[in-house]
Amino acid sequence: MIIPLDICGLGIDFDTRHPEFVRRRCAQYLAAAPRTANLVLRAEEEDIAQADRDGVGPMEAELFAMTIPLSERLPALGRLMTHGVAFAIDGRSYIFTAESGVGKSSRAFLYQQYFGADRVSIINGDKPILWFRDDGSVCACGSPWSGKEHLDQNVCLPLGGVCLLRRLDSDPVGGNRIYAATRGETFDFMLHQTFMPAAPAAKMATFGLVEELYNRVPFYHLVTDLSRAGVEATAPTLLHGE
């Protein structure tokens, strides 16, 4: 059954085997009115089986497997799916990205505790989508692929910066600090944290969008412990460039 959704400024129709589950999980993305779909997605059986290797069940597995055809087609539409935590503060978005287990969510929650839940909210807890707009801005957008906590919002907000997280114990200098990432460091990091299509044309488009992202948005290395002191030492640079 086709379930019409609006995600990241696109009309995306899910051809799903589990319509009630999709309606429930993707409730905030349901299309409010008839519209022309930009994409129609259906997950392949082998991709669903692979997604269910940890025993999440057929409904969760199908939803996750939808990311495979989606990530193949997003670059041609000026969008990328990334691995990270996107959060909003005062109308702008920021992304913490790193390998699993480094503490992306923990640091986003720390910002929320420090600045207050009235100012900071989670846009997406695992797979935000980046939208490269014609006006030169990049927006971080929510998506229904948001990790175990299912923390996401159907919003798109201008991206103010991306932090490449490093473990405090792996940094040769140590201490709570934030500093600019070079182009090479950004590429090496982001190409591991971006869903890479298999099709050659889509792969080349992805490379181009990562380059465009570096040109449009500040990138930082963020090295902190999980403390208020870590936020106090680094937030002014991330939020204001100070």
Q: What is the C-alpha to C-alpha distance for residues 213 and 207, in angstroms, rounded to an integer?
A: 10
Farthest-apart Cα atoms in the chain, separation: 55
Structure confidence at residue 92 (pLDDT): 97
Structure confidence at residue 54 (pLDDT): 79
The mean pLDDT value for 40-48 works out to 96
Q: What is the C-alpha to C-alpha distance for residues 107 and 181, in angstroms, rounded to an integer?
A: 19
* Radius of gyration of the chain, Cα coordinates, nearest whole angstrom: 18
User: Is the CB of residue 87 less than 8 Å from the CB of residue 121?
Assistant: yes
Q: Is the pLDDT of residue 242 over 90?
A: no
HSE-CB of 101 using CA atoms within 13 angstroms: 0
Check residue 241 and report its DSSP letter. Answer: -
Kindly give the pairing relationship between strand 129-132 and strand 79-81.
Answer: antiparallel
Mean pLDDT of the chain: 94
CATH number assigned to the domain covering 78-240: 3.40.50
Tally of helices (H runs) and strands (E runs) in the chain: 8, 12
Q: Is the pLDDT of residue 55 over 90?
A: no
Structure confidence at residue 172 (pLDDT): 67
User: Is the CB of residue 210 less than 8 Å from the CB of residue 194?
Assistant: yes
The identity of residue 61, as a single letter, is A
Window from 51-55, 156-160, 165-169, 212-216 with minimum mean pLDDT: 165-169
Q: Can you give the residue ranges of every domain in the chain?
A: 2-73, 78-240
Q: What digits encode the pLDDT tens for the residues 119-160? A: 999 999 999 999 999 999 999 999 999 988 899 999 999 999
Q: Measured at the alpha carbon of residue 107, what is the angle toward residues 103 and 112, in degrees to the nearest 5? A: 150
The mean pLDDT value for 181-207 works out to 95
